[in-house]
Amino acid sequence: MGRQRAAWAAVVALVAAAAGVTAAPAAATTTTTATTPTAYCPTGWGSTVKTRSAATMEPVTNIRTGRHACFDRMVVDVPGAGTSGLGYSVRYVSRLHQDGSGKHIPVSGGAVLEIRVNAPAYDSATGKATYPVRAGQRLKGVDLTGYRTFTDARFAGSFEGDTQIGLGVRARLPFRVSVATDRVVIDVAHNWTGAR
């Protein structure tokens, strides 16, 4: 009886020791898996048309861009519009054509995103431009040097309460559009794979 207890104690000690040995690699694997996602970027945005039905008479006052770890960003500022009045249509086009005239506006890059924000770039009461850039010109104050995705950004004009912009990108890449207070935000991913 004493020998059986001793044998069982030895077996339990061996099992416990074995469990301790296998627990360490499992913990290491879990830690490695937990840190892996930070090396990747979201890619599920797709490249199809994105729209939101809303409109405002508050005018566009600025268009700016920024670089991020996973994407390049464009922001269209419409102070006073809040969020409920901001509508948009963003889509890839083969060529950018100005609303009203139909004039072709060249935009360099492997692909062109046409961005329409449902807000004028002029004061509706006076007709005075609130974003004073001529159709076809580069966006005021935007320097795309060093950007991974953006290659060109052109003002296409403002017609019947909509402001139109041509954004040249390296290739047809996934993008997302969101609305924050007083602005429309367009993010274009650096690639399809999610690698940084």
Q: What is the CATH architecture assignment of 50-189?
A: Sandwich (2.60)
Cα atoms in the 13 Å half-sphere on the side-chain side of 165: 32
pLDDT > 90 in the chain, percent: 73
Kindly list the domain boundaries of the chain, sorted by start residue: 2-39, 50-189
Query: Which tens digits make up the pLDDT trace of 146-157?
Result: 999 999 999 999
Position 101 scores a pLDDT of 86
The answer to whether residue 18 scores a pLDDT higher than 60 is: no
- Beta partners for residue 92, in sequence order: 113
Q: Are 166 and 97 in contact (CB under 8 A)?
A: no
Distance CA 190, CA 181 (A): 26
The answer to whether residue 12 scores a pLDDT higher than 80 is: no
The answer to whether residue 58 scores a pLDDT higher than 50 is: yes
Q: Are 89 and 49 in contact (CB under 8 A)?
A: yes
